[in-house]
Amino acid sequence: MAKPKLLITRKLRPAVEERAARDYDVVTNPDDHVFTEAELIAACRKVDAVLPCHSERFTAGVIAAIGPGLKIIANHSVGVDHVDLAAAREAGVVVTNTPDVLSDATAEIAILCMLGAARRGAEGDAMVRAGKWDFWSPAFMVGRQVTGKRMGILGMGRVGQVTADRARGFGMEIHYHNRRRLPDHLEKGAIFHDTPESLLAVSDVLSLHCPATPENLGIINARTLALLPERAILVNTARGALVDEDALVDALKSGRLFAAGLDVFRTEPGGNPAIAALPNVFLLPHIGSATEETRDAMGFRALDNLDAFFAGRAPGDRVV
Ligand code: 8YV
């Protein structure tokens, strides 16, 4: 039987590419560029399946233009906000993601962002590198300690839960808001808030872990930032679209917010120059899941979903 035709939109780990080439008739993107919409449509028209990252946007228009040949979008990401799920459902296209396997790596980055923001990591690093470290005093580069503070987790899914576990290591008191309250064995003593507002009011550090669903877009804005305790720290390793970046810049400039640690932005790649110009930010280029171990696991998980689908079984991580 002929192998199914699979488009892999971006460069993946060697072992993942090897396994894909063994089991599928693979079309790759040798120079690893972000496809234009037209390129994505043209490439997807020629295959049975696509294995994309969050950098490829499957809008309703794109899904309609691809037409009936494409059977499955097996994402190499846990987030699926780049796919119009209703349009995929309507078109009969199966959609899968890669949950669990990236929770540890992303929680590590959330803790890095928290500490980098709280302890002025970017400012200190830039100063030493630039040869501008010409002074020291006990009053110099004083940050905020996170040990013993309250950590608010907005969205207590898998990544939120692992981030909470890591923050417990700093003696932080964990608070969270989630659509549903977690059972005791997952809650582990964390304090549930039934609204985001109630959570924000107690969060010395607020870490975002909710998906960028339509109702969550801009959930961090001028109104909600004003609910945080004075001089709180915002951490975002989820999606840039959760935050009104103009309001964030205002809060960081005024000192209302002590600092922010951000791995994600509204515009990617690139970020936001107004945020990058501020001293009290610690910034990373969307690398939450970027470890060798996790990228291997994500690729294999996406292939597991494809294998199940083409063997006539239900893919384990079916979203649509
Ligand atoms: C990825 C992500 O960077 O999983 C997600 O939702 O944002 C990231 O893990 C990316 O899509 C890798 O393919």
Distance CA 270, CA 295 (A): 22
The ligand 1 atom at the shortest distance from the C-alpha of residue 76 is 13
Q: How far is ligand 1, taken at its centre, from the CA of residue 253, in Å? A: 30
C-alpha 195: how far from chain center:
22
Q: With contact defined as beta carbons under 8 Å apart, do 102 and 288 qualify?
A: yes
Of the listed 120, 150, 158, 286, which one is catalytic? 286
239 a catalytic residue = yes
pLDDT at 1: 80
Largest CA distance in the chain: 72
268 a catalytic residue = yes
Q: How far is ligand 1, taken at its centre, from the CA of residue 211, in Å? A: 12
pLDDT at 287: 98
pTM of the entire predicted model: 0.97
Q: In what order do the strands lie in the sheet with 173-177?
A: 191-193, 173-177, 150-154, 205-208, 232-236, 257-262, 281-283
Please name each of the domains of the chain with its CATH number: 5-101+292-310 (3.40.50.720), 103-283 (3.40.50.720)
- ipTM of the shown complex: 0.96
Burial 13-31 (b: 16+ CB within 10 A, else e): beebeebbeeebebebbee
Nearest CA to ligand 1 atom 13: 53
pLDDT tens across 117-164, in order?
999 999 999 999 999 999 999 999 999 999 999 999 999 999 999 999
pLDDT tens across 51-70, in order?
999 999 999 999 999 999 99
Angle of the 292-310 helix axis to the 103-118 helix axis, nearest 10: 150
**Integer Rg of the chain from CA:** 21
pLDDT at 27: 98
Could you say which residues of the chain have pLDDT below 70?
none
Q: How far is ligand 1, taken at its centre, from the CA of residue 196, in Å? A: 25
The ligand 1 atom at the shortest distance from the C-alpha of residue 80 is 6
